[in-house]
């Protein structure tokens, strides 16, 4: 038996199979006032880079060194993945080991050697350099080896990589997605089986939609203990129903009906908002990432633009004083900025892969060139306070311009409302309006968790936002499964300009019993917001899942189910809103409100091994299964 202490939380590791239930004395309905969680950033907890850059997907959360604290992998798109080791509630930046164009990441011990393994889906160089799935192994002393790829895999423009175990043998099989060619749409989504010789052996292609249907969510909509897969991102959502063995069947029409036609979905999160034991779904939606956009903030006179593979021309911009540009970002292969009639090339002082701030006087960029055929960004002062900014780049180009005194032409973002789907007997209906989900604007991700520990799952929603201004994020508090109320005091605000939402997740990094939030902004920064809530009388438990008792199954996909006063709380290792990556957060958090005891707690692993936990004290972290 091993006991760890952190703050006021005692971690007690034990397993006990019991045949009788513990009678409850829960008072889940006693407290009627809304407890609103409050979050804040703390630079003493983690030293995240204070420079805006391109991002990709959610944070990948896992105890990589198996020391009992959750570490982080944070992807800087086309540059590298940042590693942060968790030293008992504060983070230390590690040496990066994944470089270049990186997409989905999956974490789990797929070879049962006791080390945490990392699978990496690299990009394919815009289709010009198809690449294969790579792998690494993390030792408990924090050394990392690997970096090779699976030579027998087909090269692709890789996107998602996620683990499943639908044959229930404990070995981790693999689901991947890739951006397919027009001539091979059916080759984008792939299934691999665990194999002793090849590690993963290709089995079959999976159901697919259009080319943009490469985003993935794992779920089990009918509670049959077989993982189902949702593919989405384009014109519709596809449901691939898991069947015995490693078979999948397209059940889209039966499960979603016309809801499958809701387009431009960028994340789907599992949420059991009514505590009935089946997973409902929350959808966020936004435009395709490379569509042109521009916006203006009249209060602060800031103008934002974004363009890729298309010419843009903002002429006669009326600017007060010098030209102040914030968060200028460009990407390979076109980084050149030409100034004035002479096309003097602006010289960077920082690396290309990130934001640049610059101030230009009228003399720095006087006049306009006669010829602008070379791809890049052109800036010129025309006189009388008027400036011109234009260009044409194959890569994304974006910036925020300050002191723009008259509103330029903008490209308004159309409304793409977020959606809440309720699971009724394995089929979904839209209950967004019924339960108070009233977000009309575009959103990019959600983090599901009981942020105030009142016993009901809440929804943190990451807004796409107006990059010309600060963005206050959205937090919906669940009112006992009857409706959601939007709180305004949570304190989660994006302050960097020129950025849009990317991915969000929740985890208890400091093991204090409440869920914290980490999210990324595209062309922005990573943010870790600590939950500073006063727990009051509300209770919680956390359960750290190890390997199955026999050691034949890893924690990935293990399900914790708790019964208390008629409520069913279900949590899964690896559950995430990420549409590309698969975290391995083994610390499953359950808020219990005013409960004083629970009826039953059970863990089932992917190979169907079960353990019933005896929970004799709340506000603690329990461990179950074989621990490292």
What mean pLDDT comes out for the span 594-615? 95
Name the residue among 290, 268, 264, 364 with its Cα closest to residue 322.
364
Strand residue runs (E) in 150-271? 158-164, 173-178, 189-195, 199-205, 215-219, 228-232, 238-243, 247-250, 265-271
**Predicted local confidence at residue 534, as pLDDT:** 65
Q: What is the pLDDT of residues 70-83, one digit of tens each?
A: 999 999 988 999 99
At residue 153 the predicted structure's pLDDT band, cuts being 50, 70 and 90, is: very high
Please list, in sequence order, all residues whose beta carbon lies within 8 angstroms of the beta carbon of residue 452, skipping any fewer than 6 positions away.
Answer: 34, 35, 36, 37, 458, 477, 514, 533, 538, 591
Cβ 464 vs Cβ 442: under 8 Å: yes
* Helix (H) or strand (E) segment spanning residue 255: helix 252-256
Residue 158 C-beta-side C-alpha neighbours within 13 Å: 28
* pLDDT beyond 90 at 203: yes
Instruction: Tell me the residue length of the chain.
Output: 628
Q: What is the pLDDT of residues 330-372, one digit of tens each?
A: 988 899 999 999 999 999 988 888 999 999 999 999 999 999 9
* 453 shares a domain with 502: yes
Q: Report the SS3 class of residue 127.
A: helix
* 451 shares a domain with 354: no
At residue 11 the predicted structure's pLDDT band, cuts being 50, 70 and 90, is: very low
Please list, in sequence order, all residues whose beta carbon lies within 8 angstroms of the beta carbon of residue 143, skipping any fewer than 6 positions away.
Answer: none
Q: Is residue 143 part of a domain?
A: no
* 429 shares a domain with 394: no
Distance CA 474, CA 92 (A): 29
What mean pLDDT comes out for the span 127-151? 94
Q: Is residue 475 part of a domain?
A: yes
* 371 shares a domain with 332: yes
* 492 shares a domain with 478: yes
Print the SS3 string covering 399-428. Answer: EEECCECCCCCCECCCCCCCEEEEEECCEE
Long-range contacts formed by 568-573: CB under 8 A, 24+ apart = 568/272, 568/275, 568/276, 568/277, 569/272, 569/275, 569/455, 570/272, 570/277, 570/279, 571/543, 572/270, 573/545
pTM: 0.93
What mean pLDDT comes out for the span 479-495? 96
Distance CA 181, CA 183 (A): 5
What mean pLDDT comes out for the span 468-491? 97
* 399 shares a domain with 422: no
Compute the C-alpha angle 198/171/216, nearest 5°.
90
How does DSSP assign 505-531, residue by residue? Answer: EEE-TT-SSS-EEEEEEETB-EEEEEE
Q: Is residue 516 part of a domain?
A: no
Q: Is residue 423 part of a domain?
A: yes
Structural domain boundaries enclosing 427 = 264-287+416-509
* Helix (H) or strand (E) segment spanning residue 144: strand 144-149
Question: How many domains is the chain built from?
Answer: 3
What mean pLDDT comes out for the span 591-596? 92
Distance CA 554, CA 163 (A): 11
Name the residue among 338, 353, 274, 493 with its Cα closest to residue 56.
353
Print the SS3 string covering 526-540. Answer: EEEEEECCCCCCCEE
Percent of residues, the chain, with pLDDT higher than 70:
94
What mean pLDDT comes out for the span 382-405? 96
Distance CA 547, CA 556 (A): 9
Averaged pLDDT score across all residues of the chain: 92
Burial class (CB within 10 angstroms; exposed 0-12, middle 13-18, buried 19+) of 29: exposed
Distance CA 554, CA 545 (A): 9
Q: Is residue 191 part of a domain?
A: no
Compute the C-alpha angle 436/239/447, nearest 5°.
40
Q: Is residue 314 part of a domain?
A: yes
Compute the C-alpha angle 609/507/48, nearest 5°.
140
* pLDDT beyond 50 at 491: yes
Cβ 279 vs Cβ 258: under 8 Å: no
The shares of helix, strand and coil residues in the chain, as percent rounded to the nearest 5, are 5, 45, 50
Take residue 619 and report the two structure tokens written for it: 């506000």
What mean pLDDT comes out for the span 53-65? 97
How does DSSP assign 548-605, residue by residue? Answer: -TTS-S-STT-EEEEEETTEEEEEETT--S-SS-B-B--EEEEEEET-S--SEEEEE-
Q: What is the pLDDT of residues 282-323, one digit of tens each?
A: 999 999 988 999 999 999 999 999 999 999 999 999 999 999
Q: Which of 467, 493, 509 is the last residue of a domain?
A: 509
* pLDDT beyond 70 at 4: no
* 359 shares a domain with 297: yes
* 346 shares a domain with 279: no
Please list, in sequence order, all residues whose beta carbon lies within 8 angstroms of the beta carbon of residue 474, skipping any fewer than 6 positions away.
Answer: 439, 443, 460, 461, 462, 463, 486
Q: What is the pLDDT of residues 441-476, one digit of tens each?
A: 999 999 999 999 999 999 999 999 999 999 999 999
* pLDDT beyond 60 at 13: no
**Predicted local confidence at residue 565, as pLDDT:** 87
Distance CA 232, CA 214 (A): 6
* pLDDT beyond 70 at 22: no
Which residue has tokens 């605000």?
A: 493
Q: Is residue 112 part of a domain?
A: no
Distance CA 455, CA 440 (A): 28
CA torsion through residues 153, 158, 162, 168, sign: negative
The enclosing domain of 566 has a CATH number of 2.60.40
* 421 shares a domain with 283: yes
At residue 557 the predicted structure's pLDDT band, cuts being 50, 70 and 90, is: very high
* 309 shares a domain with 377: yes
Q: What is the pLDDT of residues 186-197, one digit of tens each?
A: 889 999 999 999
* 599 shares a domain with 554: yes
Q: Which of 341, 370, 404 is the last residue of a domain?
A: 404
Please report, for residues 108, 240, 545, the alpha-carbon distance to residue 583 in angstroms, rounded to integers and kept in the order given.
Answer: 8, 21, 14
Q: Is residue 258 part of a domain?
A: no
* 429 shares a domain with 281: yes
**Predicted local confidence at residue 32, as pLDDT:** 55
Task: Tell me the backbone φ, ψ of residue 253, rounded to 5 degrees.
Answer: -65, -40
């Amino acid at each position: 038996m091993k006991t760890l202490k952190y703050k006021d939380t005692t971690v007690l590791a034990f397993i006990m199979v019991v045949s009788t239930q513990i009678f409850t004395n829960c008072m889940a309905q006693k407290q009627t006032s809304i407890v609103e969680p409050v979050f804040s950033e703390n630079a003493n907890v983690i030293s995240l880079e204070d420079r805006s850059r391109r991002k990709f997907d959610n944070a990948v959360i896992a105890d990589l060194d198996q020391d009992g604290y959750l570490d982080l992998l944070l992807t800087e798109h086309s540059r590298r993945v940042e590693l942060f080791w968790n030293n008992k509630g504060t983070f230390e930046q590690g040496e990066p080991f994944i470089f270049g164009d990186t997409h989905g990441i999956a974490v789990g011990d797929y070879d049962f050697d006791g080390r945490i393994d990392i699978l990496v889906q690299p990009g394919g160089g815009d289709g010009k350099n198809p690449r294969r799935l790579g792998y690494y192994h993390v030792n408990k002393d924090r050394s990392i080896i690997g970096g090779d790829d699976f030579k027998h895999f087909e090269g692709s423009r890789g996107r998602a990589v996620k683990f499943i175990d639908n044959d229930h043998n404990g070995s981790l099989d693999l689901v991947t997605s890739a951006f397919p060619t027009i001539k091979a749409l059916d080759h984008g989504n792939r299934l691999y089986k665990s194999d002793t010789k090849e590690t993963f052996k290709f089995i079959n292609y999976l159901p697919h939609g259009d080319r943009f249907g490469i985003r993935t969510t794992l779920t089990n909509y009918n509670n049959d203990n077989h993982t189902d897969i949702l593919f989405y991102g384009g014109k519709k959502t596809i449901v691939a129903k898991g069947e015995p063995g490693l078979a999948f069947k397209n059940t889209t029409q039966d499960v979603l009906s016309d809801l499958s036609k809701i387009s431009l979905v960028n994340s789907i999160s599992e949420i059991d908002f009514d505590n009935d034991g089946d997973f409902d779904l929350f959808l966020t939606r936004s435009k395709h990432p490379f569509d042109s956009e521009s916006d203006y903030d009249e209060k602060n006179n800031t103008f934002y633009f974004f363009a890729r593979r298309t010419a843009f021309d903002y002429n006669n911009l009326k600017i007060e004083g010098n030209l102040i540009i914030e968060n200028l970002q460009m990407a390979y292969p076109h980084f050149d900025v030409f100034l004035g009639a002479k096309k003097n090339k602006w010289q960077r002082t920082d690396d290309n892969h990130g934001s640049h701030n610059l101030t230009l006087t009228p003399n720095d960029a006087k006049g306009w060139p006669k010829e602008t055929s070379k791809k890049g960004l052109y800036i010129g002062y025309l006189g009388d306070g008027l400036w011109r900014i234009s260009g044409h780049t194959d890569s994304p180009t974006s910036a925020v311009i300050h002191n723009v005194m008259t509103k330029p032409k903008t490209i308004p973002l159309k409304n793409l409302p977020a959606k809440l789907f309720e699971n009724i007997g394995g089929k979904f209906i839209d209950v967004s309006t019924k339960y108070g989900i009233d977000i009309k604007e575009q959103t990019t991700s959600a983090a599901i968790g009981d942020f105030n520990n009142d016993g009901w799952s809440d929804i943190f929603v990451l807004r796409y936002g107006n990059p010309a201004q600060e963005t206050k994020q959205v937090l919906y508090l669940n009112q006992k499964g009857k409706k959601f109320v939007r709180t305004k005091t949570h304190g989660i605000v994006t302050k960097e300009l020129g950025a849009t939402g990317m991915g969000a997740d929740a985890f208890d990094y400091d093991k204090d019993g409440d869920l914290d939030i980490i999210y990324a902004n595209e062309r922005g920064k990573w943010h870790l917001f600590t939950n500073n809530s006063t727990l009051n009388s509300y209770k919680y438990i956390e359960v750290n899942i190890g390997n199955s008792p026999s050691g034949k199954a890893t924690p990935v996909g293990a399900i914790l189910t708790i019964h208390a006063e008629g409520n069913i709380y279900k949590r899964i290792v690896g559950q995430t809103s990420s549409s590309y990556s698969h975290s391995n957060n083994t610390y499953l958090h359950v808020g219990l409100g005013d409960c004083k005891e629970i009826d039953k707690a059970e863990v089932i692993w992917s190979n169907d091994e079960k353990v019933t936990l005896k929970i004799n004290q709340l506000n603690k972290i329990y461990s179950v299964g074989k621990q490292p």
